[in-house]
Every structure is written in structure tokens, then in C-alpha cells.
């Protein structure tokens, strides 16, 4: 079992290009990190993968790579890519040695060893019949999220959280001083004593916009920042939660307290329970905080402004469709699909071309254009299991739509988009 340590949010899983950084520089980086956190880092800690918001809650358990042979993974890890950290993890889990990975990648062996210890512990978890108290404590100290642990053991995230809290396992928050300024931001760990003092007085929690992407851009950072300014003018303090350094909301002096954390239920709820604000305002942060609003409310968070119920009416395709019918608002012929087979059957009844639009997305993310030529909506439905997906008819001359269609390897969503406009 690996040492019971934690990977703090400072430990960005940066891949080191071949021959670009010396071993001396790597050692300096490790010494600097040790001075800040007094904890070693995990190169592959799943804590750092949460902000990516790619429906992956850890470095492993990715079906595509679980099905990939070790020889194929060995070839893949030799080329730097956005997938390499996941491929590295699976290669180590399948038995690749630290030395073999080093020869293929030239990533410092120290980082690879950290990842190897992580994979060893995950295999130990997978071999356990149940999530015991001892195993849960070790998992949290090793950096496994509630969500990832729940997937390994086939239980609910809420169940893992309740079990963790019953054992007294709560996040501690450490300050990172801002160089040359009287300020700090905070990151969490399950190791060590808490070094955080709650903001005094009336205060609000503001979940930020998270990562910038199509449909989740700087406009949400703008609204979050102006929310803090408006509350400050009203004499109310703010605690900001965000994980994106390329934003104004993560400037240390924008809010009264800045938590540099992923926008997940576990992390936001931990901050809420520590700060005990008068409430949380989620609707200015865009899709990222909207997606967790209901879970936060169910866990006891006071959601101010737009309620999770109103959010769901607008975001759930089926409820929005019913509301448009009630208000007599014209819409294309459409139907609701909850599976791939369902989408094909109902799509054929409506007739091509079609647009498949998932619930709880902005800016065209995850949408798919079906022209009857074999373009599959399976990815869309897979990404949004448990929520209704609407299948819209596209009628020339009657309804004009602007849409983004994600295209990539094997139909997977990536950052490349084909743009369509008038149909």
C-alpha cells in the first residue's frame, strides 16, 4: 500500500516533454512543493482531473483504455497528448514497470513511481469485497475522491460521503501566500490540520465558472466577479470557489476568500460546511455550478437566487418542452429519447435531418447532428445518462438553428467543431 499521503490541488499533473527539463530542475520543483505543503505529490492524482469536466472522475476506469492491450498502450504513451496521463495510468495498472515507462516518455521516474503507487492502491481497492472504514480512510488520504471511490465499489457518492463524515474525515484547507501582496488563496487536503479561518460577518459562497470552453467562457467569470462587487457594495462578504487561473475571479483580491478548488459537490460542500455562509449563488457561474445545484441543495446548501427547481425546468429537455407547450411557444417537431435505441426509433418517425440535444448543456456542447448517413448519437446519450435528450426535426424555411457539432476520433467529443448555421 502506498504511503498515506495526499495530492494537493497545487500538484498539477504536468507532463514533462522529453529532454526539456533537467533532473536538477525536477528536484528543485519537489523541494519547493515540500516547503509549501509538507506533502509529497501524486503525479497522477485524480484530484487534478476533476476540473477537466470530461466525465472522468479519476485517472483510471476508462473503458477505452481498459480494453486496450498493454502493447498498444506502450506505443501510445510515447507520444505526448491530452490522453497520455490516462494511458500511462492504465499501462502501469496492467503491469508496465517504472523503468519501461521512463524509457518511453522520459518523464522523471519519481513522478512515475507516484503514479505506480496510486495504481497499486486502486488494485487493492478493487480486490476488496467492501469499502471498509480503514480502506476509506486510506483512500481519502491517498487523494481518491468520493465519486471515484463510489465507482470502484459500486455505491453512491452520497453513501461514501456519509461514511467519510462518520469517521471524521473532513477536508483541511491550507493557505498559499500571494507573492508580494497581503493575500492568500486556499487549497484542500485530507492530511494535516486545518489552517483556515472562516470569513467573519455576513457572507455568500460564489461557485465560479470552472474551465473555459465552448459555451462556458469568460462571460460567466464576468458575472461572478460583478456579483462579488455588488455584494461588497451591499456590505456582504464573499468566498469564491474556482479552479481556473485564467480568470479575474481567481485574483486573490476579487473576493474576501478564494478557494482554488474544483467545482464538485465534495469540494464545494466541504467549503460551505466550513464557512457556513448565508447562502450560495450558483446561477452566475454557468453550466458548471448549475449541474451540481440540486445535489448541493439536497445536502443542505441554501441556494439563493434562481432555485434548483427553476434551473431544472430550463435545463431538463422534457420539462422545458412541456413548459413551451403550456405557454404555446412554437417548437420543431420533437420527441424525448433516453437511450441510443430510443433516439434511433423516434428519430426515424420524425424524419431526417435531426438534432439531438442533451439536457444540462450550454453552447452546443454534446449535441449531435443526424443526417441519416450513419452519424451516431450514442456518445451524446452516453454522456448524459439519466437525463432526457430531445430529438428535434430541422425544417428548411421554418426553423433556423445555429449549432455546434463535436467531431473527433471515432466520433468522440473533442475541441474541434464543425459549425453550421442556417438550415
pLDDT-derived band at 34, boundaries 50, 70, 90: very low
What b/e string do you get for 64-90 counting C-beta neighbours within 10 Å, with b at 16 or more?
Answer: ebeebeeeebbebbeeeeeebbbbbbb
**CATH number, position 264:** 3.40.50.20
Task: Look at residue 404 and tell me whether its pLDDT is greater than 90.
Answer: no
All three cell numbers of 266: 465534495
Residue 151 sits in the same domain as residue 50: yes
Residue 240 sits in the same domain as residue 364: no
Average pLDDT for residues 182-210, to the nearest whole number? Answer: 91
Task: Look at residue 91 and tell me whether its pLDDT is greater than 60.
Answer: yes
Task: Look at residue 120 and tell me whether its pLDDT is greater than 50.
Answer: yes
**CATH number, position 121:** 1.10.1030.10
User: Measured between alpha carbons, how far is 303 from 308 in angstroms, rounded to an integer?
Assistant: 8
Residue 197 sits in the same domain as residue 296: yes
Task: Look at residue 27 and tell me whether its pLDDT is greater than 60.
Answer: no
Residue 87 sits in the same domain as residue 150: yes
166, 200, 230: which is the final residue of a domain?
Answer: 166
Does residue 18 form part of some domain? Answer: no
Choose between 214 and 32: higher pLDDT.
Answer: 214
Does residue 320 form part of some domain? Answer: no
Number of domains in the chain: 3
Residue 114 sits in the same domain as residue 212: no
pLDDT-derived band at 17, boundaries 50, 70, 90: very low
pLDDT-derived band at 47, boundaries 50, 70, 90: low
- The pLDDT of residue 378 is 52
- The pLDDT of residue 389 is 65
- The pLDDT of residue 386 is 56
pLDDT-derived band at 419, boundaries 50, 70, 90: very low
Residue 284 sits in the same domain as residue 335: no
pLDDT-derived band at 102, boundaries 50, 70, 90: very high
166, 199, 226: which is the final residue of a domain?
Answer: 166
Average pLDDT for residues 324-340, to the nearest whole number? Answer: 86
Choose between 362 and 45: higher pLDDT.
Answer: 362
Dmax over CA atoms of the chain, in Å, equals 68
Residue 158 sits in the same domain as residue 180: no
Residue 191 sits in the same domain as residue 303: yes
Does residue 63 form part of some domain? Answer: yes
pLDDT-derived band at 38, boundaries 50, 70, 90: very low
CA distances from 144 to 47, 61, 70, 186, 302 (A): 7, 13, 24, 19, 27
- The pLDDT of residue 393 is 59
Residue 262 sits in the same domain as residue 280: yes
Range of the structural domain that residue 275 is part of? 172-313
106, 139, 166: which is the final residue of a domain?
Answer: 166
Residue 31 sits in the same domain as residue 94: yes
Task: Look at residue 302 and tell me whether its pLDDT is greater than 90.
Answer: yes
Task: Look at residue 13 and tell me whether its pLDDT is greater than 60.
Answer: no
What is the CB neighbour count within 10 angstroms for residue 171? 21
**CATH number, position 403:** 3.30.1490.20
Task: Look at residue 309 and tell me whether its pLDDT is greater than 90.
Answer: yes
Q: Which of 337, 136, 160 is nearest to 265 (CA)?
A: 160
Amino acid at each position: 500500500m502506498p504511503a498515506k499521503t495526499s495530492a494537493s490541488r497545487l500538484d498539477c499533473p504536468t507532463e514533462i516533454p522529453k529532454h526539456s527539463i533537467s533532473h536538477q530542475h525536477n528536484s528543485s520543483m519537489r523541494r519547493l512543493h515540500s516547503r509549501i505543503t509538507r506533502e509529497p505529490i501524486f503525479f497522477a492524482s485524480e484530484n487534478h482531473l476533476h476540473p477537466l469536466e470530461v466525465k472522468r472522475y479519476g485517472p483510471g476506469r476508462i473503458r477505452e483504455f481498459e480494453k486496450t492491450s498493454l502493447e498498444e498502450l506502450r506505443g501510445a504513451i510515447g507520444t505526448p497528448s491530452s490522453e497520455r496521463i490516462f494511458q500511462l495510468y492504465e499501462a502501469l495498472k496492467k503491469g508496465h514497470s517504472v523503468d519501461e515507462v521512463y524509457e518511453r516518455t522520459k518523464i522523471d521516474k519519481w513522478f512515475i513511481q507516484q503514479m505506480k503507487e496510486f495504481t497499486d492502491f486502486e488494485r487493492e481497492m478493487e480486490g476488496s469485497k467492501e469499502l471498509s472504514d480503514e480502506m476509506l480512510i486510506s483512500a481519502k488520504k491517498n487523494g481518491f475522491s468520493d465519486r471515484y471511490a463510489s465507482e470502484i465499489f459500486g455505491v453512491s457518492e452520497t453513501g461514501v460521503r456519509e461514511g467519510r463524515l462518520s469517521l471524521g474525515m473532513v477536508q483541511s484547507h491550507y493557505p498559499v501566500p500571494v507573492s508580494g501582496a497581503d493575500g492568500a488563496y486556499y487549497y484542500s487536503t485530507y492530511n494535516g490540520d486545518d489552517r483556515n479561518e472562516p470569513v467573519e460577518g455576513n457572507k455568500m459562497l460564489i461557485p465560479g465558472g470552472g474551465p473555459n470552453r465552448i459555451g462556458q467562457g469568460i462571460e460567466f467569470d464576468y458575472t461572478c466577479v460583478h456579483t462579488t462587487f455588488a455584494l461588497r457594495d451591499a456590505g456582504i462578504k464573499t468566498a469564491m470557489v474556482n479552479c481556473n487561473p485564467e480568470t479575474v475571479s481567481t485574483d486573490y483580491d476579487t473576493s474576501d476568500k478564494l478557494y482554488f478548488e474544483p467545482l464538485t459537490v465534495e469540494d464545494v460542500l466541504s467549503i460551505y460546511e466550513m464557512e457556513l455562509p448565508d447562502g450560495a449563488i450558483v446561477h452566475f457561474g454557468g453550466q458548471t455550478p448549475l449541474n451540481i445545484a440540486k445535489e448541493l441543495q439536497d445536502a443542505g446548501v441554501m441556494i439563493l437566487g434562481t432555485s434548483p427547481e427553476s434551473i431544472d425546468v430550463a435545463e431538463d429537455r422534457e420539462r422545458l418542452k412541456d413548459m413551451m407547450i403550456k405557454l404555446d411557444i412554437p417548437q420543431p417537431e420533437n420527441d424525448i429519447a433516453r437511450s441510443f435505441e430510443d433516439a434511433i426509433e423516434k428519430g426515424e418517425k420524425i424524419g431526417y435531418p435531426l438534432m439531438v440535444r442533451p439536457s444540462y448543456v450550454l453552447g452546443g456542447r454534446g449535441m449531435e447532428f443526424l443526417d441519416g448517413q450513419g452519424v451516431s448519437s450514442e456518445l451524446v446519450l452516453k454522456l448524459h445518462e439519466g437525463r432526457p435528450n430531445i430529438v428535434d426535426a430541422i425544417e428548411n424555411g421554418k426553423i433556423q438553428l445555429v449549432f455546434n457539432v463535436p467531431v473527433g476520433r471515432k466520433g468522440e467529443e473533442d475541441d474541434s467543431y464543425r459549425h453550421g448555421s442556417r438550415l
